[in-house]
A and B are shown apart, each in its own frame.
Chain A
């Protein structure tokens, strides 16, 4: 479970302070996928970085299974698996070697890491190429390796920041299948995206981030019901109109 309450975050750039989040609150629950939506620059990445302990909130707090992301950041990091769309795995190491490295970063014992690698590789179907250099892999294979890296330490919470933004259709399917699987296993999943159709298909709960707060937050069905068409993009346009972003 991820509980975000009253989150504030500003960045100082060139002597100017820019308020990105101003009072963001939501809860993501186990066995469900929470979709954080919003246009580019809305603050999705910032929010997920705050949850992942990469940034510290100016105000407000985040609890992961009851642990505070600031005061207990190390324990929190043990519970979360992060994947971002910007991540491009590369290099001469094989998937197995990379996974072992991330296992070490998570202070896992070697035998346990190898056990996890076998399990994940079987589950994602990586056995054929797990010892091949990453540079020689196809995009789908790389994507599976990235996913494997993010869950090597068996996290309870899975945080994916626009994971499909740079992917082709095959690699996108790999990610979406994985997310549905994780949900079925009872993980808490938070997914950010600006692709509304993807959110509509995958998510159980949805938050739309606009002007630093959640303009909409709740169960997908309830949110879609607010529009006659029952479509997420109409929800979005209605919101944008309300705020004078589009006419």
Chain B
């Protein structure tokens, strides 16, 4: 499995990078750490004309302290560095946990935060070689019009398997998207769409440059369940946040990942515990209300029914973790 023909460009300034993206648009693909994009190119899932590396852009690798106590992280920062960053571990333990939950040490040594946030959706029916895919009719991912996961679906149901966005969503992080034409700020909670093909609002000429996390004094927690410890995508992952102490809370937010095309922000369960507190009964009521919000579970890499049950288990556990933190 060789890389498709392409041009690999290491850009030396943000300006140059944005100009190249503006020129090449759909034909370009940004390479952060390359841990996902390069492999998908080998599978011929991605066939960009230009692979645009941002590894040499120093301004995208910094972690800046903001005067309000928040942090502004460059999209090119390596996960390995973020996992050990004192301010991150100190202020945003759930985020630090989600960074350490990604893949393995080797991969975190290469992978960037921007790459994790912009990670493409994955599917058991497409994330294999071109030769392998010949045994299937084309699906949305391969210029077809069907989804193998749920045949009647009118959109691609591949899953968002990334870990760090869950923690960033509950922290209220904001993404800075820059293009040659300007810059915009998008809350990460609004970044993802429910279309597995085109799963973010990022435009082809845009680059994610920074992630800004506001100061947060609430309690937070992140949990991931995977078939193996290390080197594995989640079966289900959750992140949650609440104010108050012990069982007393007034505002709880919960987000579930790796079960759908986008991270799912749970409204009803959050409302229940926000109103009733984190007592066992309220937590059970919250867990019981999850089902309606998960939507069609995409049966990928592990059984849908198992994923559903695990979403319940993890939400319960994350709420208990909040209570006890």
A binds B: no
A→B interface (CB under 8 Å): none
B→A interface (CB under 8 Å): none
